[in-house]
Structure 1
Amino acid sequence: MDIESICVLAPPADHGGIGRYADQLNSRIEEQSDIEHIPFYEEIGALDVAQAAVRASHYDVVHIHFEYGLFRPKLLYAWLFFPLLFLGTRLRGTSVVVTLHEVWTTRTVGRIQYVYVWFVHLMLTGTASRLVFMSQSAKDDFRPRNITESELIPHGVDIDAVRDIGVSNARDIFEYSTDETVIAQIGYVSRRKGTDTFLELARRHPEYEFLIAGGPLRDEDLPYFERVIRESPENVQVTGVLSDASFHAAFVATDVAVLAYRDIRQSGILNWCFAYGVPVICRSIDRFRALCARSAPLQLFGDGDEHPPIDTALSMVLDDAETRGPAMRDFGERYALSTIADSYVRLYRSIR
């Protein structure tokens, strides 16, 4: 069935990885259907949240890019937003798609707090016509189950958005020469991304240059970021939040990217590494293990016997960088954003 109008509720493109991803996805979907992006982010107030819910219900399809931080404080705005959206969409026959960019579990918030999160999940599920998970592990973790239909649509890689930047020009931005080895953590800095592990690695390897290409996204991350600056050894450069041009240049300037994340369900930074062909070492967590099971050319590291320690993983990837880079790019092309956009358009049409 043809769709006359689609409304996307997501953060703006300059409000973190989810907003940037939603904006990229919108640009591909616009090639097939009319779409309007209603900015939805944590700084807006209760009245804005209510107006967004009412306004969204006037479209054929509402697509929500969900993360818990959008409904702060303490998910209280979810209790305002979802009941209003439920009433409006049911009265007008509007379909609702919810893409879950993260899924909290008892490991994330603890057992007592999770009871509260479970009821928010119940509201979300009761409102949605279809849930979309980006990984099988996120789908397996989500509770309650089997209330509404769900689909698995992976995070797309925006191959077409890669900038044509020379390595020398990219390194000039960060004041590195082309003969230096640059190890980078790219993206917003927060505790759960394991920047302390990155700093420990830098202390053990003064022969390399280390780049923390990013800063804090939220005020609550600022104390941790300031601690990172204080504790950084001489071979670590900390940029703070980057401009869009410098953000892209960071990937071109990097020999190996480090993703020491402790818990994450999807990573826009990893997808940019696929797009730019940047070799990556990742902590052995569920999301990255699941990608390796699909033949993603990632090098996992860990503390046990299953995977090598981070120092060994780094040496392995540096020794094999010439083959790992093209392999990263090839894997990214299998999940090109245009293909993912087609999947969403088919989903929109199937639920109308």
Structure 2
Amino acid sequence: MKKIAIIAPKDSETNGIGSYTRDLSESIERNSEHTKEKILTEIVHLPHKSKNPLRYIRAVFQSYQTGDIVHIQHEYGLFGTGAVYMIPFFLSLLIAKKIFTIPIVITIHEGLNPDLVSGHLQEIKKYYILFLNGMIVASSDEIIFLSTQSRDRFQVRSGSVDSQIIPHGSPISQTYNMSKEIARKKLGIDTESTLIVQPGYISKQKGNHLLIEIAEELPEYNFMIAGGTSTSSTPYSEYLRENAPSNLEITGHLPEERFHAAFIAGDIAVLPYKTVEMSGIVNRVNQSGIFNWCAAYTLPVVASDCESFCSINEDWDCIELAKEGDPSDFSKKIKSLIKSDQHQDYLRERLRQYRDNHSFRSVASKHDILYRQL
């Protein structure tokens, strides 16, 4: 039996990494039931918005006491403002690695490089990112990226990084068996209306504010932002609420059953993700867990023509693309798709093929192979 300690945030405290880790952990254990050597996983939670570096260090040593392999789900924002707590975390990881000689796997959910920084103290920020990335590489025995875009964004001081790409899975087995009528009742939506949904956490890079203009341009349809923020309120979420037209509902954080109901109740999902600058860093979405949920439910998607979605479409032609940051183009594409049952059926079939090829079962199998090689 092999035990994997996965360091990750709690499911309820992040922008999807916690739920990704939970789904991955469950799929790995289910897959291993049919193998000679069973794999067990235990999730060691990163502290949430803690300013105590000892709590990050404690997570490292707890994982070494738990697992034969340590697997870290990494995103810079999980380590405080400016990712400052990456320093004590990874320094303690390097020390523990020398003492215990346990393999370390790191999944990088979003990569950064010096070209993405701007504003005040730009040169210092560039070297700081290279320093952080260098600690990641020095600590790891294997690095996983969720997309080629994330891998291409990641840069170290010199040379290349040995890594592999294991895409974000489509969680088919976690979908709810619920009728559209019941789903709409749970959300308080008229069963006869046309509903366009944007599920998931609220953030600027997800372009939630664009739904304000889109909803104003399409008053004949109902719109819903089915999600909230990881905290009770932010200036951005307050802006959305204050400016939302009458046909745009913002639900706030949803319990799990109602979150799933949003995918079933919707006629179309809209993902107007866009590149934004936050705290002097250019942020863009390089992979989308929400898109994979849409695929799991075969819910037709209108999404930004960002690099990530364009890359998926090159292989699968399963997304209706609209110009990034252009509400009018989104409105045009949404209206056209709503009026074409034939095109909706085509996208559903292409999404079905995509999800079957990217199931969490196949993703878990790739992790299983990796763990057994270490």
Distance change in 2, residues 1:349/1:303 (3 Å)? closer
Runs of at least 5 residues in structure 2 that lack an aligned partner in the other structure: 33-38, 275-283
- CA spacing shift, 1:14–1:76, aligned 2, 3 Å: same
After superposition, the Cα gap between the structure-2 partners of 1:148 and 1:95, relative to the gap in structure 1 and judged at 3 Å, is: farther
* 2:259 pairs with one of 221, 244, 247: 247
1:82 and 1:54, CA in 2 relative to 1: closer, same or farther beyond 3 A?
same
Quick check: 2:7–2:44 contact (8 Å CA) kept in 1? yes
Q: Is the 8 A contact 1:188 1:217 kept in 2?
A: yes
Alignment of 1:1-352 (within 5 A): 4-16=2-14, 17-31=16-30, 32=32, 33-44=39-50, 45-58=52-65, 59-106=67-114, 108-110=116-118, 111-112=122-123, 113-144=125-156, 146=159, 148-218=161-231, 222-262=234-274, 263-302=284-323, 309-318=329-338, 319=340, 320-351=343-374
Quick check: 89-98 or 157-166, which moved more? 89-98
8 Å Cα contact 1:171/1:253 also seen in 2: yes
Give, in angstroms, the shift of residue 30 of structure 1.
Answer: 1.9
Residues 126 and 43 of structure 1, relative CA distance in 2, 3 Å threshold: same
Measured on the aligned residues, the alpha-carbon RMSD in Å equals: 1.9
What letter matches 2:268 in structure 1?
V
Tell me the distance in 2 between the aligned counterparts of 1:273 and 1:60.
35
Question: Cα distance, 1:229 vs. partner?
Answer: 0.5
For residues 41 and 248 of structure 1, what CA distance do their matches in structure 2 show? 27
Deviation at 1:246, TM superposition (A): 0.4
Amino acid at match of 1:21: Y
Range with bigger deviation, 240-249 or 321-330: 321-330
**Offset at residue 40 of structure 1 (A):** 1.0
Counterpart CA distance in 2 for 1:234 and 1:109 is 38
1:34 partner amino acid: L
Question: 1:271-327 CA distances to partner (integer Å, 9 max, x unpaired)?
Answer: 10000011001111111111112214011111699xx92122213322122332232
Q: Which amino acid aligns with 2:295?
A: F
Q: Tell me if structure 2 keeps the 8 A contact 1:280–1:299.
A: yes
| Structure 1 runs of 4+ with >6 Å offset | none
Q: Which moved more, 1:32-41 or 1:309-318?
A: 309-318
Letter of the aligned partner of 1:310 in structure 2?
F
Q: Which residue does the alignment assign to 2:277?
A: none
**How far apart in 2 are the matches of 1:146 and 1:20?**
33
The answer to whether the Cα contact below 8 Å between 2:114 and 2:130 also exists between their aligned partners in 1 is: no
Distance 1:251 1:304 in 2: 23
User: How many correspondences in the alignment?
Assistant: 346
Identity %: 30
SS state at 2:70 partner: strand
Distance 2:324 2:178 in 1: 37
Q: Quick check: 1:167–1:253 contact (8 Å CA) kept in 2?
A: yes
Deviation, 1:267, is 1.1
Alpha-carbon contact 1:56-1:85 (below 8 Å) kept: no
Tell me the TM-score normalised to structure 2 length.
Answer: 0.88
Gap runs ≥5 in structure 1: none
Amino acid at match of 2:86: A
Contact between 1:69 and 1:75, CA under 8 Å: does it hold in 2? yes
Q: Secondary structure at the match of 1:217?
A: coil
Task: Name the CA distance, whole Å, in 1 between partners of 2:74 and 2:85.
Answer: 13
One-letter identity of the residue aligned with 1:159: I
Call closer, same or farther: CA 1:153–1:214 in 2, change over 3 Å. same
| Structure 2 CA distance for aligned equivalents of residues 108 and 15 of structure 1 | 26
Shift of residue 116 of structure 1? 1.1
Structure 1 CA distance, aligned partners of 2:187 and 2:325? 35
What is the rounded CA distance, in whole Å, between the counterparts of 1:317 and 1:255 in structure 2? 10
How much does 1:139 deviate?
1.1
Cα distance in 2, alignment partners of residues 279 and 303 from structure 1: 18
Which digits, 9 at most, give the CA deviation of each residue in 1:80-134, with x for residues without a partner? 0111111212222211111011112456432532321221011011101011011
The one-letter amino acid paired with 2:253 is: V
Q: Summarize the Cα distance change of 1:290–1:52 in structure 2 as closer, same or farther, 3 Å threshold.
A: same
